[in-house]
């Protein structure tokens, strides 16, 4: 059981690093799609949508069923 717990700890750290990378990529990519005069809420919504879409593609690549209400 200790091994499983350690795997979960390391996996969470990896996920945090990957989340940071996804956010950085989305920051850069969102600027490519939006008009130069875009502001606050529009940028935030586009960024959030792109990040969630990337996460779904990653989950699908690993054949993981996503459920926002599920947390281990």
Residue 22: is its pLDDT beyond 70? yes
pTM for the model stands at 0.76
Residue 57 or residue 70, greater confidence = 57
Per-domain boundaries in the chain = 2-61
Tokens of 52: 């969630």
DSSP letters spanning 34-72 = S-TT--HHHHHHHHHHHHHHHHHHHHHHTT----TT---
- Cβ proximity of 16 and 4 under 8 Å: no
């Amino acid at each position: 059981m200790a091994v499983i717990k350690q795997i979960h700890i390391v996996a969470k750290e990896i996920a945090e690093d990957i989340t940071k990378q996804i956010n950085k990529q989305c920051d850069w990519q969102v600027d490519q799609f939006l008009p130069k005069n875009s502001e606050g809420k529009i940028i935030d919504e586009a960024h959030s949508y792109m990040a969630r879409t990337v996460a779904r593609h990653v989950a699908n690549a690993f054949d993981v069923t996503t459920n926002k209400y599920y947390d281990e």
